[in-house]
Amino acid sequence: MHDFPDLDRIAYKAERAASRRLAQAEGLSAEQALRRTLELAAGAAGLAVLVELRTGMLAAQAARDAARATAKAAAISRHDAQPTAWRAWFDGSAKPNPGRCGIGVRLEGPDGRVIELAQPAGHGNSSEAEYRALIALLELAVAHGAHALTIHGDSRVVIDDVTGPDLYAAPALAGYRARASALLASLSDVRLRWVPRHKNSGADALSQRALFSLDTDATISS
């Protein structure tokens, strides 16, 4: 009989509970009961196959956790760096969600110039609106040569998606991520920083202005 010392580590919560009941019912030790429970779960494939499969799953999860921690540490490091010459804010709104989208962008240059954008952005959900706002901002940044740029946004979904590893990218947002990544590659020294909504009020007001223009147009046309 093979010895499997890590059965408790690979067992699911329900399996551990079932093994405790089995131990009480049949007078088995905790180890014996858990082994029998997992042998039943393994079926014809056998316990060794189950152990190998779940050990691999745990290792993969540990690798994902490590990658996420590394990405988070890198983001924090970028955020804590010295202020950049250019600064920008973006926001996107959908009304309802999903519904009509409006985007707002503010880009500030080292010479004091300010470029703002408030415009309708089609139809979609809030994450799509936020991504469209980021892309519009990046297009402005490329057009104005805004290298050494810190971008602020209040969408964790979009910022985590565009800065995180491919493993965690949202499939539904893949097209937006690809476009944003291509634009980011055209700029040097770009940092994306999440901020709470109250620190993104300027871009939010611009996106709401875009939605208001949609409401006004709808009222006039009706």
**CATH number of the domain residue 177 falls in:** 3.30.420.10
Residue-range definition of the domain harbouring residue 13: 7-79
Last residue of a domain, one of 27, 47, 79: 79
pLDDT at 220: 37
Range 162-167, long-range pairs (CB < 8 A, 24+ positions): 162/131, 162/134, 162/192, 163/71, 163/75, 163/192, 164/68, 164/71, 165/67, 165/68, 165/71, 167/64, 167/67
Residues 140 and 59 in one domain: no
CA gap 64, 56 in Å, rounded: 12
pLDDT at 4: 78
pLDDT at 17: 93
Residues 70 and 134 in one domain: no
Flag whether 23 is in a domain: yes
190 DSSP β-pair partners: 149
Flag whether 1 is in a domain: no
Range picked from 51-55, 75-79, 164-168, 204-208 for highest mean pLDDT? 204-208
* CB neighbours of residue 15 within 10 Å: 17
118 DSSP β-pair partners: 104
Q: What pLDDT band is residue 108 in, cutting at 50, 70 and 90?
A: very high
For the segment 63-92, what is each residue's pLDDT rounded down to a tens digit?
888 888 777 666 666 555 567 999 999 999
Residues 73 and 108 in one domain: no
Q: Are 109 and 146 in contact (CB under 8 A)?
A: yes
pLDDT at 1: 56
Q: Which pTM was predicted?
A: 0.63
CA gap 90, 105 in Å, rounded: 5
Residues 103 and 197 in one domain: yes
Q: Are 19 and 11 in contact (CB under 8 A)?
A: yes
Nearest to 211 by CA among 82, 116, 94: 94
Distance of CA 5 to the CA centre of its chain: 37
Q: Domain tally for the chain?
A: 2
Residues 194 and 93 in one domain: yes
C-alpha distance across the termini of the chain, in Å: 79
Last residue of a domain, one of 28, 45, 79: 79
The pLDDT of residue 201 is above 80: yes
Q: What pLDDT band is residue 214 in, cutting at 50, 70 and 90?
A: low
pLDDT at 83: 79
Residues 101 and 162 in one domain: yes
